[in-house]
């Protein structure tokens, strides 16, 4: 009969705490926010009352009046790619350092769901947005960038965009990969590309450019792949169906490289004795001793940190001109690359 008592006990508010502690709601607010100008006696009373009631501040109400959330939203394109594990860890680290909370969403590599995920974050009024390897188009990013600070991670962004970006030099990385193979004596170096993935275009261009510069134009073989293992497997299948076989393959990323390796091993080819494989991202996967994949490293943890830092500059320091940070990738040689087989097929037929 008494609705107040029989209801499923609604969450206590600042008012309940105030009543219990015998002070005003303003005072409770001050204590919760950790303001100095409160007498020890009141502070203690408030704290006790809050603890007894199990009071938890309502962030929504707070953000509403402050018009800011102290939350940075992160849209991660693919949570299954171990690469993003590192990125995320860098982001969290730096964010907590700067007093920000982090919320993640993912688009599962689908444009449409990415848009949805980003929309969710925006409706929450996050103070800033990090897009890690987004697949949505530049226009959309630009549009979003006009209403909230945005940092694009791992995807080259035109300097005209209103968004910041933190990327590695994909083109240079791709060239490193090709040069490494060339230095080992390879000529027939193929590329399984990353399709529409973030930075895939640049890696493709870097590959072609490098091949051309090394005078290997006629050996350019480019098959379509993607940033996942099955795509790498498919790409490798396509390579296997063509003659002559390449002696080295530069895969769009580590996952893709793993798929390719599987296909090659399945076809009875030895790695790197028959065919060398090099990946990109230098994920924990590549580092597994059992895998030991040669790869191009990008400092993902640091890049995550930088992204948060850039956001911070915009939000709290009032920076307005966009910045575009490009970090240098580096080559990590492991056991999936080596000299080409002594007697390449073509030579035998002479």
Bridge pairing between strands 330-332 and 295-297: antiparallel
Q: Is 330 in the site for DNA (CB under 7 A)?
A: no
| 338 vs 350: CA distance, rounded Å | 25
Among 4, 6, 54, 67, binds DNA (CB under 7 A): 67
Distance of CA 179 to the CA centre of its chain: 26
When the beta carbons of 27 and 291 are compared against DNA, the nearer one is: 27
Query: 72 is in the binding site of which of DNA, its own copies, none (Cβ under 5 to 8 A by kind)?
Result: none
In terms of DSSP H, where are the helices of the chain?
A: 3-6, 14-21, 25-32, 40-53, 59-66, 82-97, 111-123, 138-147, 170-183, 200-213, 229-240, 254-266, 284-287, 300-317, 345-348
Cα Rg of the chain (Å, integer): 26
CA–CA distance from 203 to each of 67, 170, 175, 199 (Å)?
Answer: 41, 5, 8, 6
CA–CA distance from 50 to each of 16, 114, 134 (Å)?
Answer: 9, 39, 42
Q: Is 350 in the site for DNA (CB under 7 A)?
A: no
Q: 35: which DSSP letter?
A: -
When the beta carbons of 67 and 349 are compared against its own copies, the nearer one is: 67
Among 1, 7, 9, 37, binds DNA (CB under 7 A): 37
What string marks each residue from 87 to 106 as x (binds its own copies by CB under 8 A) or -? -xx--x---x----xxxxxx
Cβ neighbours of residue 112 closer than 8 Å, sequence gap 6 or more: none
Q: Is 39 in the site for DNA (CB under 7 A)?
A: yes
Q: Is 62 in the site for DNA (CB under 7 A)?
A: yes
Query: Could you identify the residue written with the tokens 């309940």?
Result: 16
Query: 289 is in the binding site of which of DNA, its own copies, none (Cβ under 5 to 8 A by kind)?
Result: its own copies
Q: Is 32 in the site for its own copies (CB under 8 A)?
A: no
Is residue 146 classed exposed, middle or buried when 0-12, 13-18 and 19+ CB atoms within 10 A define those classes?
exposed
Q: Is 23 in the site for DNA (CB under 7 A)?
A: yes
Q: CB 291: neighbour CB atoms within 10 A?
A: 19
The interface with its own copies within residues 259-288 (CB under 8 A) comprises: 261-262, 265-266, 284-285, 288
Q: Is 324 in the site for DNA (CB under 7 A)?
A: no
Token pair for 287: 């580092």
DSSP codes of every residue in 54-115: T----HHHHHHHHT---EEEEEES-TTSHHHHHHHHHHHHHHHHTT-EEEEEE-TT-HHHHH
Query: 86 is in the binding site of which of its own copies, DNA, none (Cβ under 5 to 8 A by kind)?
Result: its own copies
Among 2, 5, 11, 168, binds DNA (CB under 7 A): 11
When the beta carbons of 44 and 137 are compared against DNA, the nearer one is: 44
When the beta carbons of 86 and 164 are compared against its own copies, the nearer one is: 86
Among 58, 196, 273, 335, binds its own copies (CB under 8 A): 58
What string marks each residue from 124 to 163 as x (binds its own copies by CB under 8 A) or -? xx---------------------x----------------
Among 20, 49, 55, 257, binds DNA (CB under 7 A): 55
Give the binding site for its own copies (CB under 8 A). Answer: 10-11, 54, 56-61, 63-64, 67, 69, 79-80, 82, 84-86, 88-89, 92, 96, 101-106, 108, 116, 119-120, 122-125, 147, 229, 258, 261-262, 265-266, 284-285, 288-291
């Amino acid at each position: 009969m008494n609705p107040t008592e029989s209801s499923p006990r609604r969450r206590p508010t600042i008012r309940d705490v105030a009543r219990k502690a015998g002070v005003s709601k303003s005072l409770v607010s001050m204590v919760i926010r950790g303001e100095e100008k409160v007498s020890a006696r009141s502070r203690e009373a408030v704290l006790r009352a809050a603890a007894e009631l199990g009071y938890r501040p309502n962030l929504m109400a707070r953000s509403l009046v402050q018009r800011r959330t102290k939350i940075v939203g992160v849209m991660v394109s693919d949570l299954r790619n171990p690469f993003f594990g590192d990125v995320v860890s860098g982001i969290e680290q730096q964010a907590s350092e700067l007093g920000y909370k982090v919320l993640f969403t993912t688009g599962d590599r689908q444009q449409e769901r990415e848009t949805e995920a980003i929309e969710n974050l925006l409706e929450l009024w996050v103070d800033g947005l990090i897009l890690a390897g987004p697949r949505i188009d530049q226009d959309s990013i630009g549009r979003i960038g006009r209403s909230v600070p945005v940092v694009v991670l791992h995807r080259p962004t035109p300097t005209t965009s209103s968004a910041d970006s933190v990327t590695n030099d994909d083109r240079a990385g791709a060239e490193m990969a090709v040069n490494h193979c060339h230095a080992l004596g390879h000529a027939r170096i193929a590329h399984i590309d990353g399709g529409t993935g973030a930075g895939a275009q640049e890696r493709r261009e870097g590959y072609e450019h490098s091949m051309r510069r090394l005078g290997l134009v006629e050996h350019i073989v480019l098959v379509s792949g993607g940033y996942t293992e099955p795509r790498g497997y498919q790409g490798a299948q396509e390579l296997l169906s063509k003659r002559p076989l390449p002696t080295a393959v530069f895969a769009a990323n580590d996952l893709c490289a793993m798929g390719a390796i599987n296909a090659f091993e399945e076809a009875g080819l030895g790695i790197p004795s028959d065919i060398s494989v090099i990946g990109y991202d230098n994920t924990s996967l590549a580092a597994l001793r059992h895998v030991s994949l040669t790869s191009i490293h990008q400092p993902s943890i640091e890049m995550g940190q930088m992204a948060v830092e850039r956001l911070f500059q915009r939000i709290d320091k009032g920076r307005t001109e966009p910045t575009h940070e490009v970090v240098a990738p580096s080559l990590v040689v492991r056991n999936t690359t080596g000299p080409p087989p002594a007697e390449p097929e073509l030579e035998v037929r002479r």
